[in-house]
Structure formats: C-alpha cells, structure tokens
C-alpha cells in the first residue's frame, strides 16, 4: 500500500473511532454522592420508609429506576415530592444512571446472623450498622395460599416466580416492597397516571383483577420478603 493510501485508511479509521458512541463507565462515587439526596426520603440504603410513604429502591432493576427518574423529570409519572430533584440541572442523565446502578447493587438482609455478643472480637458498631440494613415487610392480611396461586397465574410471568422482579426484563419487585405502597400504585395504574404495559398503554391489566384477589396476592407477597 502506498504511504498516502495508508495514511488515508488510517485517518478514516480514526474518524470512525471518534464517532463511535463511547459507553460511559459507571462511577460508583458519584452514585453514592447522589444517593445522599435520595436518602433523605428513601433511607440511606434505599430501604424506603416503614409506612410505605417512600418506596424501597435497594436492589430494584437499574434500567427500570432510570426509566422512572426520566418519567418524573418529563412529568409523565406524577411525583410532586421529587420534581425539584430531577430537573436537568439537578439530575443530568449521567447522575440518573450512576444513582440507579448504585441503588440496584444494595443488598438488604431480612435477618441478622446470630453472633456471640460476649466474644472478645464482637464489634458492636459493625453490628449496629448491619442492623440498619435490615428490612422486613410487615405481614399483610389475606389468604396466602390463594394469593400464591393467583400470583403465579397472573403476575409471575413479568414480576418473577418469587416476586423479586427482573433486572433483565426491567420489571420491579413486588415482594420486598411495602404493601401500602403497592396499593397506592394500583390506584395510580388504574387511574392511568402510570402505564403498566408499554405496548398496551390504554389497557390496564389490574382493571380485570378484583381487590379481593389483589389482597390475597399482596398477603402472599408479604411472606416472600426473604
């Protein structure tokens, strides 16, 4: 190949390389820093609030959380509490990605391992920190056996066999989420303030599920938090 030809090919390659979209790397420090803002409502570990006012975020699918943040930002999903935190100035797309990944990687336990608190190497402070990362969903009333069957028939295909959602399919967990919060979202979905299935935005699948059935489904899910 002549020198000129070679230079031409090289510069062409360089041009192509420069134009290829470069995937941005996840920045865990940034994710952690952004989460300090979220922690004011959702808790330091994304555990939400016990009364279900603020949902649990820990271990939810990152793609799904990023999608919700963009829906809040674009005012396509109403969330008055969060609107001032998600405008473009406060939350550019990189921050949305980082905080979503950061939260998706937090694992909350539902029980502490038994330890000997009288052992000489017992670390009371570490134990305290660990206990703060515990999360339990209070048992909801209803027929758990019936709920299990209904859940398997009507919800499991998307929300996962055990109710833990899917990071691959970007579906949120229902087990491990506060029952009050789930009921509130059922209302919003039925009022079309939220869209359940993207390919059928006008049809709400929960319109066809009776409240008595949902009650049993949520009773079952509240037993599946660990």
175 binds ligand HEC (CB under 6 A): no
Q: Which of 172, 178, 216, 220 binds ligand HEC (CB under 6 A)?
A: 172
Per-residue CA distances from 215 to 38, 55, 81 (Å): 30, 19, 27
177 binds ligand HEC (CB under 6 A): yes
Residue with tokens 């869209």: 195
186 binds ligand HEC (CB under 6 A): yes
224 binds ligand HEC (CB under 6 A): no
Q: Name the residue among 112, 136, 119 with its Cα closest to residue 47.
A: 136
Which of 121, 199 has the CB closer to ligand HEC? 199
**Cβ-contact 224, 139 below 8 angstroms:** no
Minimum CB–partner distance for residue 172 and ligand HEC (Å): 4
How many positions of this chain bind ligand HEC (CB under 6 A)? Answer: 38
Q: Which of 73, 148, 196, 215 binds ligand HEC (CB under 6 A)?
A: 196
40 binds ligand HEC (CB under 6 A): yes
Q: Which of these ranges, 24-32, 113-121, 126-134, 153-161, lies near ligand HEC under the rule CB under 6 A?
A: 153-161
CB atoms within 10 A of CB 52: 18
154 binds ligand HEC (CB under 6 A): yes
Which of 34, 137 has the CB closer to ligand HEC? 34
226 binds ligand HEC (CB under 6 A): no
**Cβ-contact 204, 185 below 8 angstroms:** no
Minimum CB–partner distance for residue 105 and ligand HEC (Å): 13
Minimum CB–partner distance for residue 100 and ligand HEC (Å): 7
Q: Which of these ranges, 22-30, 40-48, 128-136, 138-146, lies near ligand HEC under the rule CB under 6 A?
A: 40-48
CA atoms within 13 A on the CB side of 189: 18
Which parts of this chain interact with ligand HEC (CB under 6 A)?
Answer: 34, 37-38, 40-42, 54-55, 57, 65, 67-69, 79, 81-82, 85, 99, 154-155, 157-159, 171-172, 174, 177, 182, 184-186, 194, 196-197, 205, 209, 214, 217
């Amino acid at each position: 190949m002549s020198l000129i030809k070679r230079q031409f090919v090289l510069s062409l390659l360089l041009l192509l390389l420069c134009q290829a979209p470069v995937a941005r790397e996840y920045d865990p420090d940034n994710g952690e820093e952004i989460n300090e803002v979220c922690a004011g409502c959702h808790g330091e570990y994304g555990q939400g609030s016990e009364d279900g006012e603020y949902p649990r975020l820990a271990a939810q699918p990152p793609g799904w959380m990023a999608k919700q943040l963009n829906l809040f930002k674009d005012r396509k999903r109403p969330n008055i509490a969060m609107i001032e935190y998600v405008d473009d100035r406060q939350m550019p797309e990189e921050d949305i990605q980082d905080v979503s990944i950061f939260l998706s990687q937090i694992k909350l336990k539902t029980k502490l391992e038994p330890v000997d608190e009288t052992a000489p190497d017992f670390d009371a402070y570490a134990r305290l920190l660990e206990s703060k990362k515990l999360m339990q969903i209070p048992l909801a009333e209803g027929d758990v056996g019936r709920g299990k069957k209904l859940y398997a028939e009507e919800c499991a295909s998307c929300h996962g066999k055990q109710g833990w959602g899917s990071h691959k399919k970007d579906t949120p967990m229902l087990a491990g989420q506060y029952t009050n919060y789930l009921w509130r979202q059922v209302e919003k979905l039925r009022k079309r303030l939220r869209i359940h299935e993207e390919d059928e935005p006008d049809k709400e699948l929960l319109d066809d599920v009776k409240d008595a059935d949902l009650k049993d489904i949520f009773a079952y899910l509240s037993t599946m938090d660990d």
